[in-house]
Each structure stands twice: as C-alpha cells, then as structure tokens.
C-alpha cells in the first residue's frame, strides 16, 4: 500500500519563499520514490491551502480543513522554516494529532530556534560560543558599542536581520533592523574563523551520524543576500585535518543530542585557532537538492531522493512515549 505523506510548506514569516522551495523539492523527491503526496501550504496570512485550493477564508477554519488531510496521512513532513514552523509549532500539532512526523519535536525545535537558549545549552555541554548579550528591542537604544559585533534576531532564520556593526551608528541601524523580526536581540562579538557546517542525521534505528563537513566561502558576512544571490561558494567536503574534522563532528553530535534533535539538523560552527565555536543550529534546514545539507550527504554517498526517503522512514510521533 502506498504511503501518503503530507508535506507542509510556506509559513507566516520572512522565510516563506524559502520554505516553499524546500517543500516543492521534498514533494518532488517523494513522488519520484513512489509516495503519495498531499501539498499543504500555509499562506503569509495564516490561511492553509491544499495545492492551489484555499481550505478556508480564515486561519482557524482552514486549519480545521487541513487537519482532515493530516488525519489521512501516514507521515507529515514539515518543511516550514523559521517561527511558527521550525520552532516546534508544527511538531506540537503533530503531537496533538498523534501523527508521525519527520524531524525534531517541540522541545528541540523551540530551543534550537532560540539562539540565546541554544548558546546556554552549548556552554552547558562544553561547546564554545561567541561572547554575547541578550537585549530586548525596548533596551536597544541603551546598548553601548565597545567592539565589532554581529547583531541577530534571537528567533529568525536565513540570516534575516543579521548585520555586522563596526561603529555606534551601524549598531543602532542593525538593532533597529533586527527588531523587525524579533523583540529579543542577540549582540555577539565577532569570531574570526572558517565557517564550517556539519549535518547530522538520525536513522530509523536511532543511529545518528554526521556527513562530511562543508565550508562556506563568502565575501564578508554570510548574510541573507549572499545566501541566495549565488555569491557565496561552498566546499564539500571541507579541506580539514583529521583533528579539526573529528572535533567538529564530535561537537555537532553532542549538540544534536543535547537538544534532543531528530531527523536531520545542520550545526553551524566557526573553526578558530582554539577549536570549534558554535554559531547556530537549524532543526529544519534548507532541503532543496542544492541546499547545504543535501550536498553534504551526497558527498557521503546518500543522494537527495534517498535522504528524503530515509527521513520519512525515521518519522515518529513527537512527544513523550505512550505509557500504559
């Protein structure tokens, strides 16, 4: 009997278009693999659609209609990046409906999406992060400039709202821009090092392993523009010595486990003279065939379509185990 997969894309945040690209690619790979696919799209206004057909005129009614599609699905593949998706929102929906889902549960998604909380977890398990401080948008006018810093919204993806500040004027502008995406802001010291990503996959049998790391080559900050305008270059596998590769892989697996991730996650580091420094964690990274994570697994001998199928095979109902 053909398995039916509900692939959810879109979302109500700045990563809407990126999420649609991931959802289209995932759905195409699943159809090529013989799966039945239902395409569910969350509009920027919160209204759900099934393919091109709106499921209602308002968010609540359309969600109720979408639940009937989810009810018939064997597995949900949430491909919504960012807030109200990757942050555990869709994992909570799957938990409430007792539907097997690809990827991390609510707890891992929520903590991984929160860059400040992620830093606290990393430091607790012995992984270095950039020195930084948390401020609210209301407090941003009082932040003093001391050195070159990177400003980030605490909960946003695709580097939206991320900027480098070299002086007090740039810092004010960066804080103002970041506040468009979140009212909690992270101000971090600049870390000098190579930008290295590590992808970790948890298989259906619980085994987790890391693909060969990827290095990002960008002219300056790897921001939203350089991520999508083709100016950044990727080397995979990254040119690393055995000791650095082992240190990065070990740190990625430790972070994956500390957050309780499932499915696939991308763990981003700066490789410095003193070892890996965690940048951030993505529990629902970009998943087109050209995205960083599939590129890493392709080098490991796992083609894109096979990676997507393996993710579906590892799907579980999120939340605590059922007890008698």
The kind and range of the H/E element at 294 are: helix 292-299
CA dist., res. 244 & res. 253, Å (int): 14
pLDDT value for 320: 64
Active site residue 254: no
Q: Which domains does the chain have, with CATH numbers?
A: 4-103 (3.40.50.20), 111-128+192-313 (3.30.470.20), 131-189 (3.30.1490.20)
Q: What is the pLDDT of residue 324?
A: 44
Residue 195 annotated among the catalytic residues of the structure: no
Give the chain's residues under pLDDT 70: 158, 220-231, 320-324
The catalytic residue among 107, 177, 228, 235 is 228
Helices 242-259 & 106-113, crossing angle to 10 degrees?
120
Catalytic residue among 159, 279, 282, 291: 282
**What whole-number distance in Å separates Cα of residue 192 and Cα of residue 101?**
38
169 is catalytic: no
User: In this predicted structure, what is the pLDDT of residue 142?
Assistant: 82
Rounded Cα distance between 156 and 82, Å, is: 6
Catalytic residue among 286, 295, 304, 310: 286
pLDDT at site 225: 59
Separation of alpha carbons 160 and 175, rounded Å: 12
Q: Is 228 a catalytic residue?
A: yes
Residues 6+ apart with CB under 8 A from 194: 215, 238, 270, 271
What's the pLDDT score for residue 78? 97
pLDDT given for residue 231 in this prediction: 66
What's the pLDDT score for residue 137?
86
End-to-end CA distance of the chain: 30
Q: What is the DSSP letter of 142?
A: G
Any catalytic annotation for residue 286?
yes
- For residues 140 and 256, what is the distance between their CA atoms, to the nearest angstrom? 32
| Catalytic-labelled residue, pool 49, 109, 268, 291 | 268
Longest alpha-carbon distance in the chain? 63
Query: What whole-number distance in Å separates Cα of residue 28 and Cα of residue 11?
Result: 19
Which pTM was predicted?
Answer: 0.91
């Amino acid at each position: 009997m053909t398995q039916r997969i509900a692939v959810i894309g879109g979302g109500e945040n700045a990563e809407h278009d990126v999420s649609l690209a991931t959802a289209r690619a995932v759905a195409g790979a699943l159809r090529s693999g013989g799966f039945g696919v239902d395409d569910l799209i969350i509009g920027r206004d919160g209204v759900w659609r099934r393919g091109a057909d709106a499921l209602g005129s308002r968010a609540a009614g359309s969600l109720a209609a979408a639940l009937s599609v989810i009810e018939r699905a064997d597995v949900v593949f949430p491909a919504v990046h960012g807030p109200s998706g990757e942050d555990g929102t869709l994992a909570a929906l799957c938990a409430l409906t007792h539907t097997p889902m690809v990827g991390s549960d609510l707890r891992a998604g929520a903590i991984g999406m929160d860059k400040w909380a992620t830093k606290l977890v990393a430091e607790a398990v012995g992984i270095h992060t950039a020195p930084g401080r948390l401020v609210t948008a209301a407090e941003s006018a009082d932040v003093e400039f001391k050195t070159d810093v990177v400003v980030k919204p605490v909960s946003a993806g695709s580097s939206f709202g991320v900027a480098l500040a070299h002086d007090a004027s740039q810092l004010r502008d960066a804080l103002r821009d970041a506040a468009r995406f979140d009212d909690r802001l992270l101000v971090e010291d600049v870390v000098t090092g190579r930008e290295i990503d590590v992808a970790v996959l948890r298989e259906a049998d619980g085994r987790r392993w890391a693909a060969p790391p990827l290095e990002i080559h960008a002219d300056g900050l790897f921001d939203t523009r350089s991520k999508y305008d083709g100016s950044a270059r990727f080397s995979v596998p990254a040119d690393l010595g055995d000791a650095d590769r082992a240190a990065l892989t070990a740190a990625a697996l430790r972070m994956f486990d500390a957050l309780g991730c499932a499915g696939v996650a991308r763990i981003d580091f700066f490789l410095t003279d003193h070892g890996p420094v965690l940048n951030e964690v993505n529990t629902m990274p970009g998943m087109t065939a050209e995205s960083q994570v599939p590129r890493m697994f392709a080098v490991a001998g796992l083609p894109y379509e096979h990676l997507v199928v393996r993710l579906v095979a590892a799907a579980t109902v999120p939340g605590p185990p059922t007890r008698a």
